Every structure is written in C-alpha cells, then in structure tokens.
Amino acid sequence: MKLQDLDIIVTAPPAPGWGGRYWMLVKLTTDNGITGWGECYGASVGPVAMRAVIEDVFARHMQGESPENVELMFRRAYSSGFTQRPDLTVMGAFSGLEIACWDIVGKARERPVWAMLGGRMNDAVRTYTYLYPLPHHDLDEFWVSPEMAAESAADAVARGYTAIKFDPAGPYTMRGGHMPAMSDISRSTAFCAAIRAAVGDCADLLFGTHGQFTTAGAIRLGQALEPYSPLWFEEPVPPDDVPAMARVASAVRVPVATGERLTTRAEFAPLLAQGAAEILQPATGRSGGIWETRKIAALAEAFGAQMAPHLYAGPVEWAANLHLATVIPNLLMAETIESPYHEALIKGGIDVEAGHVRLSDAPGLGIEVDEALARAHPWNGQGLHLEMRDAPCDYANGNRFQGGAPATES
C-alpha cells in the first residue's frame, strides 16, 4: 500500500463562520484505493500559496511511501532544505497530510486511530466551548458585553459543558506585546465576574489573550483576574517569548496555557524546561500531526503538565484531536466547536453529549467527509484564516473586536 494521489479542498464555513474564514482539507488515496482525510492548519499564508506548499510536501516527502511510515515522512519534511528545525508553514502542510495517513491505516486495518496509539485511556473526553452569541444577541455587541457572555455561558453549562472560554482583553494587533488599557482590564474582570456569577462552580473559566501583552502588562491583567480563579490564562505574551511566559507564570496565580501557534517538540520542550506553562494546547493540524503531538503529550507528562488540544478550524482536525485525547493520561480537556457546518461536513460522525465526546470503534478517524458540501462552499475571499489588525491599542476610545469570530470583511 503506497500513497498515490492528493486532493485539496478549501472550504469556507457559512456565516457566522466559527472556526475561521476557511479550512484546508486534504484527501489522500493509496494505490489500492483507500482514502484518508486530514486538515492542514497553516494560517500564515493564503490558500493559493498554501496549496502549493501542501502539494510540494506531498510530492517531495510522501508520494509513493507507505502511509504507515509517518516517522520517516516527518523526518523528511522536518529536515527539508537542510533545516532540521520547525517551519510553521511546512509543518502545517505535513500535519494535515499525516492525519490523513492515520485515517488510511486505520481503515486498512479496520481499527480506529485511537486503538493504534495506545488504546482507550479516557472513556469520555471532556470538552470545552468558546462563548458564542445566542440567536437573540447582537453579533457586534456580544464581544464587549459581560451580560451577553454570561447568558451564553449559562446556556453552555445547561447543555453540559464544564468549561468555557472567552477573550475580552483585545485588541488583536500585529504590533507585538502591548500594555493593556485600563478599560480592557476593567472589561476583563467584568466578564469574569458576570460569568462566574452565572455559572458558579459548575464550570471552569478559560481566559484567552492570544499573546497580546508585554510581560508587565500580562502580569497586571493576570493578577486582576485571580479573584475569579480561572482555570487558565491563555498565551499571555507572544508565543515565541518563552522567558517572558515563564515570568508571567511565576507572578500570576492562574495556570498558564499556550501552544496553538507552536509546532513540534522543538517549540514545546522549552516551555516545559523553563516552567513557562502547565497546560499545552497543540493543534494536530499544525503541531506536526498526530504522532508528533503524541510525543509532545509524553514530554508534558514527564513535567507534570496537562494537554488541552486546541481547535479553531474544521471538524477533521477536531477528529484528530479527539483521537489523541482519547489515549493520553495527562488530558485536561479538548476544545470543540458546535456549528451546523461542522456537524454536516462529517455527516454527524462525532457527537458532543453533556460536554463530553466518546469516540466510536469506527475505523480510521471514524468520520465521513461530505465532499459535495465542502466543494459547494469554496473560499473566494482575500483574507487569511485569521488576521490581526494594524492599529495599536486604543487607550482613549477603547478597543472593539470580534473575539473568536473571523472578521466579517473578506
């Protein structure tokens, strides 16, 4: 059995588009006709350029190879061009292709991916959700309204979730770490207070920041959040500044979580060695694929850290995350996105029940991708999967932003 053909589908979730502007799905077919699906979470270049990278990685390192040889193919891609260092775009391409290999091997052996990674450690995977607007909420006002966030949180808890994530401390600016405006700190504490009042001790609060702050700014904000006991303070400083992350971790009495923008063990290991994070959040469509992320989990276990696989993409990466989550002993929880398009794209192959997922014994990833639906929603815009803004933090007029939603413009 050898890898033979590659197909790439760039599909755009219909409005409101939770999960980003588009998702890059890859379909691999072997010489004996078995197909496997993966998802590439490479967001730093546009779909046209990323398509070319995916095609190059497949042709150069994988085509004609057995889909079982994921370690060999990883080393080829990781070392490509005499680099032997993590490259975010190349690893984003390889990660999705590697996920598809596991789907193929599982189908060939008639076994689920989780069974080939060590077996079922976690009977049910605890999941969390971002806070999204309810049908009666204003889409613009929601992201700056503690009251609406509290309503959404109460609704999530009523549906069985025991952890909820929100990120009211904008803006998302390309200018690197900044000092938060006092109004942003006030809004953040107001969100925590309102949500904590709405859910009591029935759910953990997960506070996101997307690496926006300087070390001092992150410490100011983090210390202001301490009375509400969030479970984590997510990516408080830019993701590549490990010493700064460690300084925040030592100064704030909220566990630091990070990892959605990192790839391979090479970038996660320093976090653990320097005590910069207690919760790691790799996304399997970016972090090197399922096998490499399994190694990241083992590293984390040795340091007493927990895993919370990240998802801000489509349901194929979600499936890969859940197979990993099913087998690791140091699982905290996994992110999920509930949307009609997510569900329809994999024909309802995975269900969230009372805030948990139990994977079936279906072979491979256990999902069936609706190709016709994916192709019926192509991405025709110019924006990237997610984008930061050029403007700096506004200390006079406040900062309005869309939280976890993609920008409405193309």
Q: What percent of the chain has pLDDT over 90?
A: 90
pLDDT tens-digit profile of 289-334?
Answer: 999 999 999 999 999 999 999 999 999 999 999 999 999 999 999 9
Bridge pairing between strands 306-307 and 204-208: unpaired
Split into its structural domains, the chain has a count of 1
Distance from C-alpha of 201 to C-alpha of 204, rounded to nearest angstrom: 7
Distance from C-alpha of 390 to C-alpha of 27, rounded to nearest angstrom: 36
Q: What is the DSSP letter of 303?
A: T
Per-residue model confidence (pLDDT) at position 389: 85
Query: How wide is the angle at C-alpha 145 spanned by C-alphas 142 and 146, nearest 5°?
Result: 125
pLDDT tens-digit profile of 113-157?
Answer: 999 999 999 999 999 999 999 999 998 899 999 999 999 999 999
Q: Would you say residue 70 lies in a domain?
A: no
Other CB atoms within a 10 A radius of the CB of residue 31 amount to 11
As beta bridge partners, residue 331 has 307
User: CA distances (Å), 43 to each of 21, 55, 97, 125, 383, in order?
Assistant: 10, 16, 15, 27, 10
Q: Would you say residue 290 lies in a domain?
A: yes
183, 217 Cβ separation under 8 angstroms: no
Residues 6 or more apart whose CB falls under 8 angstroms from that of 326 comprise 114, 117, 120, 121, 122, 125, 359
Q: Would you say residue 268 lies in a domain?
A: yes
- Say yes or no to pLDDT of 407 above 60: no
Sign, CA dihedral 337-342-346-349, equals: positive
Q: Report helix angle 264-273 to 290-302, nearest 10.
A: 10
- Any alpha helices (H) in 22-87, and if so which ranges? 47-61, 70-79
Q: Report helix angle 47-61 to 88-109, nearest 10.
A: 60
Helix (H, G, I), strand (E, B) or coil at 269: helix
Q: Would you say residue 250 lies in a domain?
A: yes
Q: What is the amino acid identity at position 364?
A: G
User: What mean pLDDT is predicted for residues 98-115?
Assistant: 98
Distance from C-alpha of 288 to C-alpha of 82, rounded to nearest angstrom: 18
Distance from C-alpha of 310 to C-alpha of 239, rounded to nearest angstrom: 14
Q: Which CATH number characterizes residue 280's domain?
A: 3.20.20.120
CA atoms within 13 A on the CB side of 346: 23
- Say yes or no to pLDDT of 402 above 80: no
171, 212 Cβ separation under 8 angstroms: yes
Please give the helix or strand (H or E) that residue 257 lies within, else none.
Answer: strand 256-258
Q: Would you say residue 8 lies in a domain?
A: no
Q: Would you say residue 63 lies in a domain?
A: no
- The boundaries of the domain holding residue 336 are 116-364
41 burial level (CB within 10 Å; 0-12, 13-18, 19+): buried
Instruction: Please tell me the pTM assigned to this model.
Output: 0.97
Count Cβ neighbours within 10 Å for each residue of 156-192 and write b for 16 or more, e otherwise.
bbeeebbbbbbbbbbbbbeeebbebbeebbebbbbbb
pLDDT tens-digit profile of 32-65?
Answer: 999 999 999 987 999 999 999 999 999 999 999 9
pLDDT tens-digit profile of 345-389?
Answer: 999 999 999 999 999 999 999 999 999 999 999 999 988 998 888
Bridge pairing between strands 125-130 and 334-336: parallel
Q: Would you say residue 377 lies in a domain?
A: no
Strands (E), 259-405: 279-280, 306-307, 334-336, 356-357
Q: Which two tokens stand for residue 121?
A: 């450690």
pLDDT tens-digit profile of 75-88?
Answer: 999 999 999 999 99
- Say yes or no to pLDDT of 219 above 70: yes
Q: Would you say residue 248 lies in a domain?
A: yes
- Say yes or no to pLDDT of 158 above 60: yes
Phi, psi (5° rounding) for residue 294? -60, -40
- Any alpha helices (H) in 80-202, and if so which ranges? 88-109, 113-116, 146-158, 182-199
